Amino acid sequence: MSASLEPVRPILLAEIRAARERIARTCVRTPLVRLELGAGFPDIRLKLENLQPINAYKLRGAANAVALLSDAERARGVWTISAGNAGQGVAFAARQAGVPCTVVAIETAPGSKLERMRSLGAKLILVSYATAWEVLEARAYPGVEGAFVHPFDDHNFIAGHGTMGLEILEDAPDTTAIFASIGGGGLVAGVGSAIKSLAPQIKIFGVEPETAAPAALSFAKGSPQAFPDWTASFVDGAGGRSVFPRMWERMKPVLDGCLVVSLAETRRAMRIMAEKARVISEGAGAMPLAAAMSGRAGIASNGPIVAIVSGGNIDLDKFSELIAAGATN
């Protein structure tokens, strides 16, 4: 299957700008809000992608990818693979386009994400995490037909995510660094492509959880790696089993490094956002703040540091449990 794929190529600034126009009626131009932490802390701004209609950034890529499908492809319907946010994005875009959508969904995804996909009209096929990762590589699943929209290794999907970079530069042109979670790598590849085209001095850092950090391992070894001790956690929207070689090609030119945060740091960041900014974030959305506050990137904070809050799709009972734990760690 991979032999027939279009070769990886850079995401052009013109493609990102065209995507911005294309998705303008579907996606929200999300605010960049300063997190007031008090004296002695860096100037951290939160890019609130949890305010998208599906409460996650994936709508940007999905809207662009579905819009660029041919009439023949739309007639067949669309399908994707997801732990929740990509599935919601593709389902939302498909519903707007009037085409059926199927999601091969990870069975352990939060109930709120599964229910949202169903409410958007998607047909769900529940599979294990391991099976889903295999399907991501195969790009096929028995009995599922239609145009496949890959949740991260898709040029148009990534270009849609790049629109965040344009907005960040408009709202904070003096930004020093941007932190974004890595699951498959589409978010950092898109934002990094936009930023490095317009302001290459801005540092771009990926962030992964300690339980699933193949990108950090890949940067350490200089080649795409599998993570040998992968463990499931409440951070279901980031941290994969491995880095796909194609995504390594996309990420490496636009990333300045990849940081790893602990689950305790992630819970604490979730709590800080709730207390200081009244923001509900899922685990993957809080990791960039955790990394920015850790100081491990080693950057001089002579300008704003942006943490992309990639999503807020989390069961409220689970959220309450996690931020309660965050008060004691």
The string of pLDDT tens digits covering residues 198-253 is 999 999 999 999 999 999 999 999 999 999 999 999 998 899 899 999 999 999 99
- Look at residue 30 and tell me whether its pLDDT is greater than 80: yes
Report the chain's mean pLDDT, rounded to a whole number. 94
Alpha-carbon separation of residue 16 from 7, 9, 189, 246, 278 (angstroms): 18, 14, 12, 19, 31
CATH T-level topology, domain 59-155: Rossmann fold (3.40.50)
Distance between CA 214 and CA 200 in Å, rounded?
Answer: 25
Right CATH number for 9-56+158-326 from 3.40.225.10, 3.40.50.1100, 3.90.1150.10, 3.30.479.10? 3.40.50.1100
**pLDDT at res. 325:** 85
Residue spans of the domains in the chain: they are 9-56+158-326, 59-155
Over residues 298-318, the pLDDT tens digits come to 876 678 999 999 999 999 999
- Look at residue 275 and tell me whether its pLDDT is greater than 70: yes
Over residues 134-172, the pLDDT tens digits come to 999 899 999 999 999 999 999 999 999 999 999 999 999
- Look at residue 46 and tell me whether its pLDDT is greater than 80: yes
Q: Which residue do the tokens 């990818």 mark?
A: 65
Q: Tell me if 310 sits within 8 A of 237, measured CB to CB.
A: yes
- Look at residue 28 and tell me whether its pLDDT is greater than 90: yes
Check for a shared fold between 9-56+158-326 and 59-155: yes
Question: Residues 154-181, buried b or exposed e (16+ Cβ, 10 A)?
Answer: bbbbbbbbbbbbbbbbebbeebbbbbbb
Question: Residues 269-292, buried b or exposed e (16+ Cβ, 10 A)?
Answer: bbbbbbeebebbbbbbbbbbbbbb
Q: Residues 243-271: what's their mean pLDDT? A: 97
Q: Which are the contacts of 104, defined by CB distance < 8 A and separation ≥ 6?
A: 79, 80, 81, 82, 125, 127, 132, 135, 141, 144
Over residues 94-111, the pLDDT tens digits come to 999 999 999 999 998 888
**DSSP per-residue letters across 257-277:** EEEEE-HHHHHHHHHHHHHHH
